[in-house]
A = this chain, B = another copy of it.
């Protein structure tokens, strides 16, 4: 292994000078710098990250916390795209990215422990159960952290504009003539709370009375549970004319149930999704949905995290809101 000491010997100078020259310190002679750089290149010198980290307490790498529950995680298009954007931008900014696991060799370890062990400069919580104590511990640990789709005191965060997203959807559906609009929401997370609130608020603004049974719980990304919610809605004496689903995948669960009941979308019931994943635009009828810019969310998360790291104590957490885009498809029928 080629070390700075080897280069120093070759160049007849000290390791300190080599270190400085290679790191662009101002106090090294031009000629010396040239010689050292040349030698380093020729000898195939590669710095040792571990030694550097030991000395500087920096790794130039970000840890990423991904939800581990269910098979979601990486198989979830929305989060995969976000991770992709995060990774790309982080690398541009000079950071590598690693996943945060909850073990160290044989032993269990908290997320915070893991981050300290690996000395990540910053952490992105891309998707996790924020209620989990471990996750809260991490967020409150003082390690630079950016969260996505949830907000914590002292942490930067990137949020999809769920308020406006739901409002746009509801107003669109209303504009198509619907007055009996049902809302199926995911499990109790910040996103869900915001969306539900925005749903009620928008309906109120439009002068719509929302029957309690029109707001049904389900589980994100889980077609069966949205199927069940759909069944409950269609069992009401006053059926909704349009159902809003928590995400595009969940719509599929609803669709299945509706088909089983002999109902067609949008002829008999209208529907809309959320996310705007690739699939949504391939379905026939094409799904009406709210596209979230997952890639951009990832990009902004990386930028925010880099800023948190570089500004250190002086970092003022930002709240980055990414707007969505309504994709009008063919699943919302225009009512007379």
Contacts and interface: CB of A to CB of B under 8 A. Distances in A.
Interface of A: 46-51, 53-54, 59-61, 71, 73-75, 77, 80-81, 83-84, 87, 91, 94, 96-99, 101, 103-106, 109, 113, 116-119, 252, 278-279, 282-284
A73 B81 CA distance: 9
A280 B310 CA distance: 45
A7 to B, nearest CB: 16
A48 B119 contact: yes
A117 B84 contact: no
Contact of A91 (B74, B97, B101): B101
Contact of A61 (B81, B98, B284): B98
Scoring A51, A71, A97, A282 by chain B CB atoms within 10 A of each residue's CB, the highest score goes to: A282
Contacts of A101: 91, 96
Scoring A73, A75, A97, A117 by chain B CB atoms within 10 A of each residue's CB, the highest score goes to: A75
Contacts of A99: 87, 91, 96-98
B74 A116 contact: no
Contacts of A84: 71, 73-75
Contacts of A71: 84
Contacts of A113: 46
Given A77-B77, A282-B283, 12 more contacts: A48-B117, A49-B118, A50-B50, A50-B53, A74-B80, A74-B81, A75-B81, A94-B105, A98-B98, A278-B279, A279-B282, A284-B284
A51 B51 CA distance: 7
Contacts of A81: 74-75
B103 A91 contact: yes
5 contacts: A48-B117, A49-B119, A50-B59, A96-B118, A252-B282
A87 B61 contact: no
Contact of A49 (B74, B75, B117, B283): B117
A295 B113 CA distance: 28
Contact of A51 (B54, B77, B116): B54
